[in-house]
Chains A and B, each alone.
Chain A
Amino acid sequence: AQKVTQAQTEISVVEKEDVTLDCVYETRDTTYYLFWYKQPPSGELVFLIRRNSFDEQNEISGRYSWNFQKSTSSFNFTITASQVVDSAVYFCALSEDDYKLSFGAGTTVTVRA
């Protein structure tokens, strides 16, 4: 069964628009961790955030923000005032007690100038 679902395959926006990426996860563990990674066209994976299951506070880092809602098993990611450099594939991932990462299918974000 898919543990992490990213329903949006591709999103295209014009520069300065906000974009929200959805992530829904599934786990029976009470302790787990959620992640977001960025994979630009160059291919490397860039770590964006790690959030544990006991911390439901939303987080903001510059133009990035994350909304964690355990009630709906969602961990959504918003890019505010998008820029061309934000064009990449974004992956949501889940780690349970075995430390392994289960990745979602990824969402390709294209920001047009």
Chain B
Amino acid sequence: SAVISQKPSRDICQRGTSLTIQCQVDSQVTMMFWYRQQPGQSLTLIATANQGSEATYESGFVIDKFPISRPNLTFSTLTVSNMSPEDSSIYLCSVEDWARGKNYGYTFGSGTRLTVV
């Protein structure tokens, strides 16, 4: 199955600053997904990132706050901009996992645990 390297694994940031999270996949994928998991909550999709086009954002998430880059088929970044304590969450990237014609579901990165102080 696909292997996703996500970094940083955790960070503590000052309010008003920005943090860029990186995800590298060991295979080419069409779509990459970014999720947020607030403390004690479920996962919520932030946006879908396709290579060569603008990311598609879900309701409640905007590009100015969560700009996404997708420069090639194996890499994507999510930036959390102008952070406030409410942005403290785990951020995860995900890809649909295919190998030799078999679907292994969606694989997730190990997550970035962000604390904004």
Interface residues, chain A, with chain B CB atoms under 8 Å away = 35, 43-45, 47, 49-50, 91, 95, 99-106
User: How many Å lie between the Cα of A101 and that of B46 in the bound state?
Assistant: 11
- 23 pairs across A/B with beta carbons < 8 Å? A35-B106, A43-B90, A43-B110, A43-B113, A44-B108, A45-B92, A45-B108, A47-B105, A47-B106, A47-B107, A49-B105, A50-B104, A50-B105, A91-B42, A95-B106, A99-B31, A99-B48, A100-B48, A100-B58, A101-B35, A101-B45, A103-B43, A105-B41
Q: Which residues of B contact A45 (CB under 8 A)?
A: 43, 92, 108, 111
User: How many Å lie between the Cα of A49 and that of B105 in the bound state?
Assistant: 7
A105–B42 CB distance below 8 A:
yes
A106–B42 CB distance below 8 A:
yes
Interface size band for B:
20 to 34
The interface bits of chain B over 24-62 (1 if a CB of A lies within 8 angstroms of the residue's CB, else 0) are 000000010101000001111100100000000010000
Is the CB of B96 closer than 8 A to any CB of chain A?
Answer: yes
Residue in B1, B33, B111 whose beta carbon sits within 8 Å of that of A101 in the complex: B33
Q: Which residues of A contact B48 (CB under 8 A)?
A: 99-100
Q: Which residues of A contact B107 (CB under 8 A)?
A: 47
The verdict on A100 contacting B103 (CB below 8 Å), with A44-B110, A44-B111, A45-B108 known, is no
Given contacts A47-B106, A100-B58, A103-B42, list 10 more A-B pairs with CB under 8 A. Answer: A35-B106, A44-B111, A45-B111, A50-B105, A91-B43, A99-B31, A99-B96, A100-B48, A101-B35, A105-B42
User: How many Å lie between the Cα of A99 and that of B58 in the bound state?
Assistant: 13
User: How many Å lie between the Cα of A61 and that of B17 in the bound state?
Assistant: 46
Cβ of A102 to closest chain B Cβ, rounded Å = 8
Minimum CB distance partner of B107 in chain A: A47
Minimum CB distance partner of A92 in chain B: B42
A104–B106 CB distance below 8 A:
no
